[in-house]
Structure 1
Amino acid sequence: MKNKIRELRKKNKLSQEDLALEVGTTRQTITSIETEKYTASLILAYKISKYFGLSIEEVFDFSEIE
């Protein structure tokens, strides 16, 4: 699933490790989500979106799910 995590992370000068610690996951999970090899759970997607002050739809692209 496409997402804007890498873009948001870089804009906020965060490493993958920094973001992972903030949302309670691992750096490897953040890497996998950014490279679209893993789809975040609803809870993790919520935590990431909330961290950046955005809605889930603003961070994750759901257009391919139909």
Structure 2
Amino acid sequence: MKIILHTENCMGCGACNDRTPEVFGQDELTNMVLLLDPTPPPDLHDSVRAAAANCPTATIELLDE
């Protein structure tokens, strides 16, 4: 799995960070999403998929490798 962020869509709600803090962070000034791990390990794939599915602005794109 590879993660691509479309940060121009991000509204800073933090749903991705709440679900998978090992992979997604938040900028302290803007609250925008930060990608901490663009290729997360397999044990995090389900939670990353859930974060992407629950993102209200479709900021998270997932590519299966």
Which structure has more relative contact order (CA 8 Å, sep 6+)? It is 2
* TM-score, normalised by the number of residues in structure 1: 0.44
Q: Whose strand proportion is higher, 1 or 2?
A: 2
* TM-score, normalised by the number of residues in structure 2: 0.45
